[in-house]
Amino acid sequence: MFAAPARLAWLDALRGPAALAVTMHHAGWTFIPVIWAEVDRRVDLGTLGVFVFFLVSGYIIPASLERRGDLRAFWTGRAFRLLPLLLAACCLALFLAYAGVLPLEPRLSERPLPLVVLGNLTMLQELLNLPAVISVTWTLSYEMAFYLMSVALFTLRQAHRSAGIATVLALLAVPLGLLLPRTAINGRADLTAAALGLAVVAAIAVTVLGHGRTRTAAAAAGGLLGLALVVLGSRGGTWQGVIILATMFAGTAVYRAEQGAISWRTAAVAVTAVLGCGIPAKDDPAWAPAIVLAFGVFALGFALRGRAFPRWLPYLGMISFSLYLLHPILLYVIPGLPLYFLTLIPLSLLTYHLIEAPAQRLGKRLILGAARS
């Protein structure tokens, strides 16, 4: 009934409930809006779920990068982890929209198709002020910015400074947010969005294929681009965007403290700064409880990391990406709340085994083949 306490099972045990929290947030507003309004004015479960995701990414992404010690392997692993399911889900959404079942973001038809494709495939559409095929992929834009910055810090041998970066970002979020309350990337600036998107693609390509100082310069440029996109392109405002980035670095600070690279006091300062500056980042009474609970849930998972979990909990976390990407599509297909979840979970299991797992295995084979050559 309980799974052995695998080293990182606690992260999957957090991912599953986080995905379900986001799913329940959107399903609640769709199927039981009157009841859900009472819940949502007290705590935003969607915000709670995505901030748990951000903390988990902050903890594990730098650890994964440093374990491999290979930038090509890192970007290959990320591509095969995220893109296959993202492409499949986008194709499904477009097919259902063509069939008249699913409404899409109206701006999709207003922007040049190559630009929309570039934004969604790089997962930077949120920060480039481009429309998303699937609405919830806005969080992937912040994940991408974090990847770019983590790669830059790793390449420049500054990865150990994550706690300081989290603290500085949190403290800067307030004045930057007051100066830039809305995105500085104009909604119709097609040329700007294309140039920035292609610059990120070029930085990643040179980081993967280049060597020596060229690779270092490309990684550093990618990190600066990631930071600039969050500061200038966060559609919810710079304050919220920078706090999201700071949250991921706070997750990294916890990892550093666990490994003994920094003191727990330093990590605690970073977490406190992020919470202190993040709580007032949005004028919504449900925001602050969600942020505090997200950090609390992450802390609880971390405290229980050596314990055994019920077998279904890490398994639910394993399919969390499928749950996250597919749930907004099913909202328009399934007629009721119980049937919705009875369909979503089996479908997510199916897409994990048919798309995610094979793609991850292929990515690992390519990484091993490149290492041997």
pLDDT per residue rounded down to tens, the chain (373 residues): 444 456 689 999 999 999 999 999 999 999 999 999 999 999 999 999 999 999 999 999 999 999 888 999 999 999 999 999 999 999 999 999 999 999 988 889 889 999 999 999 999 999 999 999 999 999 999 999 999 999 999 999 999 999 999 999 999 999 999 988 777 776 668 999 999 999 999 999 999 999 999 999 999 999 999 999 999 999 989 999 999 999 999 999 999 999 999 999 999 999 999 999 999 999 999 999 999 999 999 999 999 999 888 988 989 999 999 999 999 999 999 989 999 999 999 999 999 999 999 999 999 999 888 777 6
What's the gap between Cα 104 and its chain centre? 22
Q: How far apart are CA 143 and CA 244, in angstroms?
A: 9
User: What is the SS3 assignment for 371?
Assistant: helix
Which pLDDT value is given to residue 189?
83
pLDDT at residue 185, as a whole number: 73
Check if the beta carbon of residue 243 is closer than 8 Å to that of residue 251: no
Distance CA 202, CA 307 (A): 43
Residue where the block lists tokens 């983590």:
150
Q: Where are the domains of the chain?
A: 1-56+287-373, 105-283
Which pLDDT score, from 0 to 100, does residue 188 have? 67
The number of beta carbons lying within 10 Å of the beta carbon of residue 330 is 22
Identify the pLDDT of residue 147. 98
Distance CA 148, CA 244 (A): 15
Of 133, 82, 64, 53, which Cα lies nearest the Cα of 356? 82
Tokens of residue 283, six digits: 């004028």
Statement: the pTM of the whole predicted model exceeds 0.75: yes
Using CA atoms of 96, 142, 302, 281 in order, give the dihedral in degrees to the nearest 10: -110
Which residue's entry shows tokens 């974090």?
146
User: What gap in Å lies between CA 50 and CA 137, rounded to an integer?
Assistant: 11
Closest CA to 140 of 159, 168, 119: 119
Residue 216 pLDDT: 97
**Could you tell me the two tokens for 78?**
């990320």
pLDDT of residue 4: 45
**What span, in angstroms and rounded, lies between the C-alpha atoms of 66 and 63?**
5
Looking at residue 107, its pLDDT comes to: 87
* pLDDT score, position 69: 87
Whether residue 28 contacts residue 36, with contact meaning beta carbons closer than 8 Å, is answered with: yes
Report pLDDT for 369: 81
Q: Tell me how far apart the alpha carbons of residues 139 and 105 are, in angstroms, rounded to a whole number.
A: 16
